[in-house]
A and B are shown apart, each in its own frame.
Chain A
Amino acid sequence: MEKRLIKKDALAGIAKKMADKFLVWAPVKKEDNVLFEPLQKNAEPNFAYLNSKNAPKNVFFPHTETMMKYTRTPKGMVFSTEENKAAESVLFGVRPCDAHSFVLLDKLFDQEKYKDGYYITKRQNTTVISLACVKPPYASCFCTSVDGEPVSSDGADILITDIGSDCLVEFITTKGEKLASYFGDAKADAAADAKKNEIAAKAKEAIKSKIPAHEIKPILDKNFDNPFWNTIYGKCLACGTCTYMCPTCHCFDISDEVKGSDGVRLRSWDSCMFPMFTKETSGHNPRTSQKERWRQRAMHKFKYYVDMFNCIACVGCGRCVMSCPVNLDIRKVVEDISKL
């Protein structure tokens, strides 16, 4: 597909121009964190960022969303499906690892058997623009161990790569091409392409943190009851930081909030790290301690997801590694499993 060159300092202007017409999600500096948020009028997007604190999954799978509303009337219940409409949106400047997470989430929310309308509508109405990592932002990035690359168009409609002099803009899908008019008219030549490939190879090389993510699948298959699981969970606080920061964690809870005769059905994020996650109405909890919960987290990412969709549910962004309050490092857990 088509490729163009733009000036390096043009990105913010393009994002702001798009914001006149679309809902643009972009990295915005808020106090000490960079967060993906809808770009407000007069707000400056920050494209010189390492990666955002929060994963951009909330664009398609928000922390809380209304599924339906209902009212009790003398004639019975009246249901109103919340109008499942998403504004035409652009997700501007996500890192390739996060764009990769959308491909993984699609496999779950948009599969043949089950179709999640809430997710799919937002996903279809959003154009994803990836901003390649020309050098890995963090020492703890490990995307190359989990089928990712720092310069990758996986999950993106448009890929932007800083090639030194300019930025190379590659339109990956027809959805991306529809936004081509925002990116000037300077066609990219073969030299720009070669430069990008060179940068991509270098960036890949620069990822030093590596984990045996693929190797542990057969080990996990056989070691559900291994005493190893007793050794990792002790310091886990059972908070939801890792799962809430994770771009691929997607478990949710559904609850009804009722006021008088009106009710709202909400879906919100949930976390396998919470004891309540598996607690049954009877009071029984099949996952009795943090051991079972941590085993579930490791198994879900590196075994169950592979069983179901033939891919690992981790993109190597390192958010859980950096944000875990007690430094329970999933890289070390995987490393240790590989030695079982």
Chain B
Amino acid sequence: MENIDTKLREEAKRLLLEKRVDVIVGYEQGTLPLTATPCFITTPEEADKLVWNNLCTQNLAKYVHDLIIAHKNSQKRVKPEDRKKKVIGVVARGCTTRSLIIHLQERQYDRDSVYIIGVPCDGYIDGKGLKVAVGGADISEGSLDGGQIKMKTSDGDKTVALKDVLADNCKTCRFNNPIISDVMIGQNAPAMNPDAEYNDVKEFEGKSIEERWAYFTKEMEKCIRCYACRQACPSCYCPTCFVEQSQPQWVGIGEDPSDTQVFQLMRLFHMVGRCVDCGSCISVCPMGVDLRKFLKKLDKDCFEFFGNRAGSNMEDMPPLGKYDEHHDKGDFVFNP
């Protein structure tokens, strides 16, 4: 990966020097062992901070949307002839490009507002899974060495195989290489194991309604309504979330289980055809709520009913925003 870092930094420097982009959203080394953290590079000198490895967790498309919308808002009171365009460079793996495609399909910004620096991806480490793999011990030092993660922990030295602690969404990822990009750093990464993509969902579908509801309520009981899942999600970009509307108030602010469930259900259903399985919501959740089970079920339904995989093709129409007069002939369309 050393080589990729070098190439990435060179490309970032070039883009900034040539003023092709105003800022590059990428990853730098974090302050805790075995972490990388999002960073914003605006000068060629800072580009040396950039890294790309299996510790880069967050889907950076979220920041692209935030930055462009903030810029658009700042230009609202500027005379049209004086308005400036801002171009965001972004280090993007497969799922990040899928999120960018969703933004573009949903007309959030123009294609030339974003410069996509594609990177190959062979999955990121699931931080919570890693913690479980070392028996809950505190990791004080760690390094990635080929396929091995070597750690110093409060229970002594430990080594774990990278493939065992990849995030679930990475293990079965279908689109680990960028779908669209303006420049590609390095060679495409080998395929992951997409055949197993719906194994968990299929098993879950086999359970009784009571068992599934019990699982849903158990998972939702863990939620503390910090909204980290919503905040990390590139597809959750509503200026005001329905849970924060007060006139009328749709959801109570307290701990009533039904309020939490309504928030999560609404978020989940807003994700049909829009969830790219980047795993950001799961990785950020402090309480370890299993959101993926439900998101993946909706994803499976969306594919089986509408043949759509979220953000997998620039030419697709969003499944919930598409009307096809040759196929949408169900009675409910014409005689609701």
Contact = CB atoms under 8 A, between A and B. Distances in A.
Contacts, number: 109
Contacts of B249: 255
Interface of B: 30-33, 35-40, 58, 62-63, 70, 128, 131-132, 136, 138-141, 154, 224-228, 230-232, 244, 249, 252-256, 283-284, 286-288
Contact of A53 (B40, B141, B286): B286
Contact of A329 (B32, B228, B286): B32
Contacts of B288: 31-33
B138 A139 contact: yes
Given A138-B138, A257-B252, A268-B255, A237 B287 contact: no
B228 A241 contact: yes
A63 B255 contact: yes
A186 interface: no
Given A325-B228, A327-B35, A245 B286 contact: yes
Given A63-B254, A241-B284, 18 more contacts: A32-B136, A50-B154, A53-B287, A54-B224, A63-B224, A135-B154, A137-B154, A139-B33, A139-B140, A235-B37, A239-B228, A241-B286, A321-B31, A322-B32, A325-B283, A325-B284, A327-B32, A328-B37
A191 B254 CA distance: 51
18 contacts: A32-B131, A32-B132, A50-B138, A50-B154, A137-B154, A138-B154, A139-B138, A235-B40, A237-B231, A239-B228, A239-B231, A239-B284, A240-B226, A268-B255, A276-B244, A289-B70, A325-B228, A329-B32
A59 interface: no
Contacts of A325: 58, 228, 232, 283-284, 286
Contacts of A139: 33, 138-141
Contacts of B244: 276
Given A138-B138, A240-B226, A268 B40 contact: no
Given A138-B138, A139-B140, A322-B32, A64 B254 contact: yes
Contact of A235 (B39, B70, B154): B39
Q: What 5 pairs between A and B have smallest CB-CB spacing? A: A325-B284, A239-B228, A64-B254, A139-B140, A327-B37
B261 to A, nearest CB: 15
A50 B227 contact: no
A331 interface: yes
A326 to B, nearest CB: 6
Interface in A234-291: 234-235, 237-241, 244-245, 253, 255, 257, 266, 268, 271, 274, 276, 289
Contacts of B232: 237, 239, 325
B43 to A, nearest CB: 12
Contacts of B283: 325
B157 to A, nearest CB: 14
A232 B141 CA distance: 25
Nearest to A266: B254
B31 A323 contact: no
A321 B37 CA distance: 12
Contacts of B58: 325-326
Contacts of B30: 327, 329
B287 A331 contact: no
Contacts of B225: 240
Contacts of B32: 140, 321-322, 327, 329
Given A32-B132, A326-B38, A257 B286 contact: no
B62 to A, nearest CB: 8
Nearest to A267: B254
A332 interface: yes
Contacts of B37: 235, 326-328
A331 B224 CA distance: 25
Contact of B40 (A234, A322, A323, A329): A234
Contacts of A240: 225-228
Contacts of B287: 33, 53
Among A239, A245, A321, find the residue whose CB has the most chain B CB atoms closer than 10 A: A239
A18 to B, nearest CB: 26
Given A235-B37, A329-B32, A255 B154 contact: no
B328 to A, nearest CB: 37
A244 B255 contact: no
Contacts of B128: 32
B190 to A, nearest CB: 29
Contacts of B256: 64
B284 A331 contact: no
Interface string A318-339: 0001110111110110000000
A244 B254 contact: no
A325 B70 CA distance: 22
